[in-house]
Every structure is written in structure tokens, then in C-alpha cells.
Amino acid sequence: MSLPEEILAESTVLFHDVRPEDVDPETHAAFVIARVLDRGTVRSVGALLRHYGRDRIRGFFREGGAARVSRRTVPLWAAFLDLAPDECTPRSSPPRSAPSWMG
């Protein structure tokens, strides 16, 4: 499977540092999502939404994807995807339910 044509058409801007033919849309999904959300046009973002779907892109943010996207654009995508602010906040470590010495 290859990237959607609308995304490939913008590959010189989106993937200036890699060869677009080496980008696998499934293996490199987080990379593709981050680049298109950060640097893409309305056309390529539409193709991204059709290709991955809103739920997968929401999952990208919930899994720490906000750290891969410009801080300026995170609030835009959080509002567009109806995500709470804490769903887009990168966490430095997983929450602990009890201190380690009580285990």
C-alpha cells in the first residue's frame, strides 16, 4: 500500500528529508500523521483523514503524538478532533497507583 496521491503530491514539503517511496503508510503511520498535521494543506489533511480515520489520528495524540507536532498546531487538532487538553499532553512517565516501596 502506498500513500494517498494527495499526500504524495506534497511530498517535497512533507517528506523533504526522506525518500517518499520509502515511507510505508502503516509502518510509519505516526511519522506520516505528524508531518501532514504539521505541514500539510487542506487537501493532504483530507486525504490523511480518509486514509487513517479520525479514531486512528485521535489515538496518535493519545499515545503521545503531540510531542511530534508543533506546539502551535496541537490546540487546533485537539479542537478539531474533540480531544480534551489532557489527551494531548505528553506524559513524562506512566502514573503510579502506589509508591514503589509499598508493592
**Residue (of 30, 32, 45) closest to 76 by Cα position:** 45
Q: How much is the pLDDT for 2?
A: 86
- Lowest-pLDDT range of 2-11, 61-70, 86-95: 86-95
pLDDT of residue 37: 97
> CB–CB of 4/50 below 8 Å?
yes
Cβ neighbours for 28, distance < 8 A, ≥ 6 positions apart: none
Distance CA 57, CA 46 (A): 12
What average pLDDT does range 82-97 have in this prediction?
A: 71
Q: Per-residue pLDDT tens for 26-81?
A: 999 999 999 999 999 999 999 999 999 999 999 999 999 999 999 999 999 999 99
pLDDT confidence of residue 95: 54
